Amino acid sequence: MEAQHLSPCFWYNVIMKKKDRFFILKLIALVLAIAIAVFAIVLRFGGASGEVLPDGTGSIEPPIADIPPEPPDSGLNIDNNGDNNTNSEDNIQGGTPDGIVDNGTSGSNDLVGFKNITAHEWLADIRIGWSLGNTLDAHDGPVGFSWLGGGIYANTSVTELETGWGRPVTRPEHFTAVKEAGFNAVRIPVTWFKACDADLNIRMDWMARVKEIVDYAVENDLYIILNTHHDDSLFKLLDSEIEVSKSNIIKIWSQIAEVFKDYNEKLAFESLGEPRTAGSPDEWRGGTPEEHKNLNILNQLFVDTVRSTGGNNAERVLIMPTYAASANETAQRAFVLPADSTENKLIVTLHSYEPWNFALRTGEGSITTWNANNSNDTDPIKMYIDLAHEIFISRGIPVFMGEMGAINRDNLEARVAWAEFYTSYAKSKDIVCFWWDNASYWVLRQRDWGWEQTFGLLDRENIEIAHPQIVAALMRGIS
């Protein structure tokens, strides 16, 4: 049968005959609803602002980052009176510090304002480094500052946490003075356990203060090392405690890395400061196989945790120590370089104060003399540097002396000769040095609590170099 031609007139007649006055309106509403739904789907999955997947399809836009609760007064307007009272327990909380922007790049490998250099190139750019010692790393064990009335760290202000060992509040001028003296890198040791709650959430005001000090170094265009220091209570190396330590290193470094993930390549992270079992027979003898195994595990977790935070951390230079950061042969040979998702970004750090009787020892047996023409004086320096060159550098693994220095025993001439020889010999083996400056620039003295080690080069009160002759010797050694 021949199909009937349904003309517009036919439909009009049907509609009019049924006298359905709302049919057309219903039809229009249906078409509009379908159009709106299609448009919404296009915006959600195929819009130009979404990422494009490898197969050419559009990805879902990332959600807007959660905005953390407004923290209490961070106490960043710090003066030398130490009268910023941020004592509330409400200060103990995790999250992003006030003023730190989360741009939603977590998990991304996009590098922002980041020069993608290797670990070798990173070290090669450093002439010599300086440490902000005995400042952010000040602590009084797990209970709090006894001379501030005891109690817990939750009731300790940011200024008290920074100046607990008698050092002044850190200022931008300190980094300017160091740079003008010839140093182009700074190591910023930080103790974190003192600013954590029971779940290891870092106080936001403490994190903000650490960030502020790092920014002082950034403003001076310095290379920067940020670490965990004196946090032995969190990162223990015995089999009976390693599971807790593994959880702790993930918790602490995930928070630090998240805050600093958008900083450029001049910022490096150092996993642990002198990790060891305090009071054990092998504490300063290189450690035991059990401790070596567990330290290697923690260093691997450190690398994995930092990388997982994304941003510039995906390619950031990372630094790991040997056991106790010791330069002795046992510790150096036991170190295992972690696996990494990116190539040539890992560095080993060592500490070496040699000859020990001259550079570090206090009390009976210490000496005040040192002579570059005496092999008994020079061999202890050369031995550990040569060992590091053999074990690491000859195998393509960069290494540096994260701490070195010689105590002030009112023996300036000997210290000047020592400083020039040490840095010169280290440079000949491609090893960069960082002077440990604990802001004690006076002559070694015994206090009621013991001997005060005096490595200071910078007078932080007057912001001037206290021992320009030693600084000049360090610069001659690397020239």
Whole-angstrom Cα distance, residue 254 to residue 46? 33
> Token digits for 172?
């931008």
Strands, E, within 113-221: which ranges?
A: 129-131, 185-188
Catalytic residue, candidates 258, 265, 403, 420: 403
List the Cα angle 138/140/142 in 5-degree steps.
Answer: 120
Q: What is the DSSP letter of 339?
A: P
291 is catalytic: no
Catalytic residue, candidates 160, 265, 274, 291: 274
**Please, how many CA atoms are within 13 Å of residue 323, restricted to the half-sphere of its CB?**
29
> Token digits for 390?
């053999």
The CA-based dihedral angle spanning residues 42, 48, 51, 56, taken in that order and rounded to the nearest 10 degrees: 70
Q: Which residue has the tokens 């040539």?
A: 344
Which among 411, 410, 466, 413 has a CA at the least distance from the CA of 435? 466
243 is catalytic: no
Whole-angstrom Cα distance, residue 221 to residue 172? 12
Helix (H/G/I), strand (E/B), else coil: 334 = helix
Residue 242 has a CB neighbour count (10 Å cut-off) of: 19
> Token digits for 147?
């001379």
**Is 192 within 8 Å of 227 (Cβ atoms)?**
no
Whole-angstrom Cα distance, residue 114 to residue 316? 9
Q: Write out the catalytic residue numbers.
A: 274, 403
